[in-house]
Each structure stands twice: as C-alpha cells, then as structure tokens.
Structure 1
Amino acid sequence: MSELEPVEYETGTAVRDYDIIEITQTAMGYEVLLDINLDSGYSLTGTKLEITHEDLQGYETNEVEEGIKYALGFFGHISQ
C-alpha cells in the first residue's frame, strides 16, 4: 500500500459539538478520547486529541476541559 500525500485545503467544516469519552493523564499532558459532530452532518467517533501542559499554559488554563474547548475552536460564550 502506498503512502498518501498530504492535501492542502483552504478551510474545512466547523465542529458543531463534541462529547468527552475519556481523559487520560500522560507525562506530557492529557490524551482525550472524543466523539465529534461536524456542521457538515458527519461525525468523528473515537477521535484522540493530545493536549500538552504547554498547550494549557498557552490557553491560560489549568483545566483540561477548557483546553479541549479552545483546541476545538470554542473561544467564547454566545449569549442568547
């Protein structure tokens, strides 16, 4: 089987919402198992996200759940 070449795209679809399945602490930070629902109608099941302690510092939080929000592009609260 040949290796696939990376494809460059200008933009993708937005994340609609996600469910945290499991958070495991690692030496470098956290490994998070997620189910992600995309605005396109597709979903990503059992997706692994790695967040380092350095990432959390960059997001100015110590809470891994907040780091996940920022990593997935949820930066603010929309009031309704």
Structure 2
Amino acid sequence: MSDLEPIEYETGTAIRDYDIIQITPTESGYEVLLDVNLDSGYALARTKLEITHEDLQGYETNDIEEGIKYALGFFS
C-alpha cells in the first residue's frame, strides 16, 4: 500500500443517520463503533469514533449516546 497524503476539504456531505454497533469504555472516555449513512448515498461501515470524558463535559452531558449525537453534529 502506498503512503497517501491527507487532502483537506472545506466541507463535505452531511450525515443522514447512524447506528451504534458497540460502545466500549476506555481510560480516557469511550470508543464507539458506528455505521454511518451519508446524504450522498454512501455509507461508512464499522467506523470508529473516540469520545473523551472532556468531550462529554464540553457537550454538558454524561450520557455517551447524547455525546455521540453532538459529536456527529445532531443538535436540537
């Protein structure tokens, strides 16, 4: 496999919805395994999201599922 250089984009497609597969506590917070459906029609299967305890404090919640929602941009 070749080394790929990161490409920076200003914007991307929105997340349509997501399914939480597994939430695993870690020393610094949580590791979350997700399936993510994008508005573009593509999907990201078994995507890993790491959320720290500090992230949850910033979202003003202790509920990891609420933190996942905020981390993915779903604000009410």
Indicate the TM-score class for this superposition, using the shorter chain for normalisation. over 0.9
What pairs up with 1:1-80 in 2 under 5 angstroms? 1-76=1-76
Name the TM-score, length of structure 1 as normaliser.
0.92
CA shift at 1:15, angstroms?
0.3
Percent identity of equivalent pairs: 82
RMSD in angstroms over aligned alpha carbons?
Answer: 0.7
For residues 6-58 of structure 1, what are the alpha-carbon distances to aligned partners after superposition, in whole Å with 9 as ceiling and x for unaligned?
Answer: 11111000000000000000000000000000000000010000000000000
**Bigger Rg over Cα:** 1
Take 1:37 and 1:66, find their aligned partners in 2: how far apart are those partners?
18
User: Runs in 1 of length 4+ with deviation above 2 angstroms?
Assistant: none
> For residues 30 and 6 of structure 1, what CA distance do their matches in structure 2 show?
26
Segments of 5+ residues of structure 1 without an aligned counterpart are none
Q: Which amino acid aligns with 2:23?
A: I
Q: Aligned pair count?
A: 76
Q: Which runs of 5+ in 2 are unaligned?
A: none
